């Protein structure tokens, strides 16, 4: 019996209990109408189960108004409270550069969330079936997906629960015939120019006839297995997140919303020590939080993991990441010249502004021989006076220091102008600092307090070279 199968699925997966307060999303189609009546049967066994209906009119199809009237009549007949919402989906899609399907989903779930809050519902129920699940798995496979994508339609997603994922569409149709229930038909579901409809009307029937009559069950089971295993992996990833990130950690998104965290940084070196599957998962989470990417692709994830020091990952003009000292961070193009700040141990090469490479070396002052001074490309510093890591950043207003041989401090701005360094170059030249004090700027003398003296025991050398254009 279909009702008993429905009830067992709800109980086995602990989707909700006998005293739950549920808001049921009803389009008027066969699946949502069947869900309402199955829940009413369940209410006979669970008298304290509390139900209300919610209908969202997308205002996209000519029949949308008729669908809304049908759902209103259904709610009156069944004596259930009804919440109705309408949205200008086409306008919303145009304003946010979304396709109509995605725009409709976002507006629909926004309405359902508000209606559930207003009524005090614990959960929102939608009428996705096992066949919907199988279709979605196939679509994801065709488009190229990983284990996360194989989850397809989640049995639970926040406040949303899908109790019909245990029933095939044929079973829903059988239930409606047995109960002689009326429902609305969405004419767009017959349009085979739409991939999902071709899969539903042509591919799945062929697979059932020629390969396996239980293919829908097998694909749906694959999705549930993927969901369970992804939940376990997600727990592991969450445990590692605080260890391999720094800066703003971001907040989890609401249904359909991406909350970007531009200050977030990811430790690429730590990822290199992990199994690649976990590294990819953490990178996907980072791309979602740092750049707001809804579903980062395999190629995007791989490109990030392969970034070398100083290389960038770009996904649109305002979505640029850079590997700086092994940390992946978002690059703010508009203010990079004034806000760029790095920490440099002096042990590895340092790339700056995509134009220069700096290398550091420690010399024994007694064995260093003759020093080849050239303020433009090289400086020699008393290593004993330095605090590592050094800070390396672009010049900021008010920066000043005491150059070698001068009696007092002078502004970097004035010194650069006096040295006739081109104006365009002055704003991007790196400033090396130790303990917050300026040490050296290429083209200018080293700071007097960090100069090499007869008492110096270790010399730290910084040498600059130009990167290929």
* Residue 334 pLDDT greater than 50, yes or no: no
* Residue 44 pLDDT greater than 80, yes or no: yes
Task: Report the percentage of the chain scoring pLDDT > 70.
Answer: 93
List 437's β-bridge partners, or say none: 434
Q: 286 by DSSP, 3-state: which?
A: helix
Quote the Cα angle for 424-429-431, to 5°.
Answer: 145
Instruction: Please give the full DSSP string across 93-161, using - where no structure is assigned.
Output: HHHHT--HHHHHHHHHHHHHHHHHHHHT-SEEE----HHHHHHHHHHHHHH---TTGGG-S-SEETTEE
The residue extents of the domains of the chain are 2-227, 247-330, 336-466
Band (pLDDT 50/70/90 cuts) for residue 316 is low
Q: Quick one: pLDDT at residue 321?
A: 82
Maximum CA extent, the chain:
101
Q: What is the mean pLDDT of residues 381-406?
A: 92
Pairing of strands 390-394, 378-382: unpaired
> Cα(290)–Cα(261) distance, rounded to whole angstroms?
5
Band (pLDDT 50/70/90 cuts) for residue 340 is low
Quote the Cα angle for 226-231-235, to 5°.
Answer: 145
Say which residues have a Cβ less than 8 Å from residue 78's Cβ, sequence separation at least 6. 36, 40
Q: What is the mean pLDDT of residues 217-230?
A: 93
Q: What is the mean pLDDT of residues 395-423?
A: 91
Q: What is the mean pLDDT of residues 424-435?
A: 88
Taking residue 148's Cβ as centre, other Cβ atoms within 10 Å add up to 18
> Cα(353)–Cα(429) distance, rounded to whole angstroms?
8
Higher per-residue confidence, 177 vs 330: 177
Q: What is the mean pLDDT of residues 428-439?
A: 94
Q: Which of 30-34, 286-290, 455-459 has the least mean pLDDT?
A: 286-290
* Residue 333 pLDDT greater than 70, yes or no: no
**Measured CA distances, 308 to 218, 320, 327, 383, 440 (Å):** 42, 15, 10, 28, 26
**Measured CA distances, 315 to 158, 294, 381 (Å):** 29, 12, 41
* Residue 14 pLDDT greater than 80, yes or no: yes
Q: Are the C-beta atoms of residues 343 and 416 closer than 8 Å to each other? A: no
* Residue 315 pLDDT greater than 70, yes or no: no
* Residue 397 pLDDT greater than 90, yes or no: no
> Cα(162)–Cα(156) distance, rounded to whole angstroms?
7
Q: What is the mean pLDDT of residues 414-426?
A: 87
Q: By C-alpha distance, which of 162, 191, 137 is closest to 32? A: 162
Task: Report the percentage of the chain scoring pLDDT > 90.
Answer: 63
Band (pLDDT 50/70/90 cuts) for residue 143 is confident
Band (pLDDT 50/70/90 cuts) for residue 261 is low
Q: Quick one: pLDDT at residue 339?
A: 47
How is domain 2-227 classified at the CATH fold level? Answer: Rossmann fold (3.40.50)
Q: Is the pTM of this model over 0.75?
A: no
Using a 10 angstrom Cβ sphere, with 0-12 exposed, 13-18 middle and 19 or more buried, the burial of residue 465 is exposed
Q: Which CATH code is given to the segment(s) 247-330?
A: 1.20.59.20
* Residue 88 pLDDT greater than 90, yes or no: no
Instruction: Please give the full DSSP string across 252-264, using - where no structure is assigned.
Output: PPPTT-----TT-
> Cα(204)–Cα(383) distance, rounded to whole angstroms?
72
Using a 10 angstrom Cβ sphere, with 0-12 exposed, 13-18 middle and 19 or more buried, the burial of residue 12 is exposed
Q: Which of 129-143, 414-428, 436-450 has the least mean pLDDT?
A: 414-428
Beginning with the edge strand found earlier in the chain, give each strand of the sheet holding 50-57 in spatial order: 81-86, 50-57, 21-25, 123-125, 160-161, 156-157
Q: What is the pLDDT of residues 114-125, one digit of tens each?
A: 999 999 999 999
* Residue 289 pLDDT greater than 50, yes or no: yes
> Mean pLDDT for the chain?
89
Burial letters for 354-377: b for 16+ Cβ neighbours within 10 Å, e otherwise?
A: eebebebeebebeeeeeeeeebee
* Residue 335 pLDDT greater than 80, yes or no: no
Q: How far is CA 173 from the centre of its chain?
A: 38
Q: What is the mean pLDDT of residues 146-168?
A: 92
Band (pLDDT 50/70/90 cuts) for residue 296 is confident
């Amino acid at each position: 019996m279909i009702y008993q199968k429905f009830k067992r699925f709800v109980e086995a997966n602990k989707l909700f209990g006998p005293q739950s307060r549920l808001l049921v999303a009803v389009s008027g189609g066969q699946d949502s109408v069947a869900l309402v009546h199955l829940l009413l049967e369940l209410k006979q066994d669970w008298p304290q189960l509390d139900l209300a209906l919610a209908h969202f009119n997308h205002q996209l199809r000519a029949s949308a108004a008729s669908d809304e009237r049908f759902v209103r009549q259904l709610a009156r007949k069944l004596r259930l409270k009804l919440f109705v919402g309408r949205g200008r989906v086409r306008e919303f899609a145009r304003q946010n550069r979304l396709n109509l399907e995605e725009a409709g989903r976002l507006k629909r779930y926004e309405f359902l969330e508000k209606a559930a809050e207003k009524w005090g519902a614990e959960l929102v129920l939608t009428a996705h079936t096992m066949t919907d699940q199988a279709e979605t798995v196939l679509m994801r496979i065709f488009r190229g997906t990983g284990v996360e994508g194989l989850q397809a339609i989640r049995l639970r997603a926040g406040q949303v629960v899908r109790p019909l994922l245990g029933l095939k569409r044929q079973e829903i149709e059988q239930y409606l015939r047995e109960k002689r229930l009326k429902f609305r038909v969405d004419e767009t579901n017959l349009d085979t120019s739409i991939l999902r409809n071709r899969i539903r009307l042509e591919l799945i029937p062929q697979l059932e006839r020629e390969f396996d009559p239980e293919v829908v069950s097998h694909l749906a089971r694959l999705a549930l297995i993927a969901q369970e295993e992804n939940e376990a992996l997600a727990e592991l990833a969450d445990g590692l997140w605080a260890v391999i990130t720094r800066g703003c950690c971001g907040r989890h998104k609401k249904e359909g919303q991406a909350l970007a965290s531009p200050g977030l940084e990811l430790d690429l070196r730590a990822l290199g020590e992990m199994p690649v599957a976990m590294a990819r998962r953490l990178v996907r989470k980072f791309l979602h939080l740092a750049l707001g990417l809804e579903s980062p692709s395999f190629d995007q994830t791989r490109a990030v993991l392969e970034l070398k020091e100083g290389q960038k990952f770009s996904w649109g003009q305002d979505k640029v990441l850079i590997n700086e000292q092994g940390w992946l961070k978002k690059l703010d193009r508009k203010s990079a010249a004034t806000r760029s700040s790095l920490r440099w141990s002096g042990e590895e090469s340092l790339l700056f502004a995509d134009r220069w490479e700096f290398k550091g070396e420690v010399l024994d002052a007694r064995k260093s021989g003759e020093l080849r001074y050239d303020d433009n490309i090289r400086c020699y510093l008393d290593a004993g006076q330095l605090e590592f890591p050094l800070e390396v950043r672009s010049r900021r207003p008010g920066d000043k220091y005491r150059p070698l041989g001068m009696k007092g401090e002078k502004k970097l701005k004035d010194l650069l102008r006096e040295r006739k360094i081109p104006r365009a170059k002055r704003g991007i030249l790196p400033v090396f600092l130790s303990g917050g004090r300026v040490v050296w700027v290429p083209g200018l003398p080293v700071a007097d307090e960090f100069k090499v003296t007869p008492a110096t025991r270790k010399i730290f050398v910084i040498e600059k070279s130009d990167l290929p254009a």
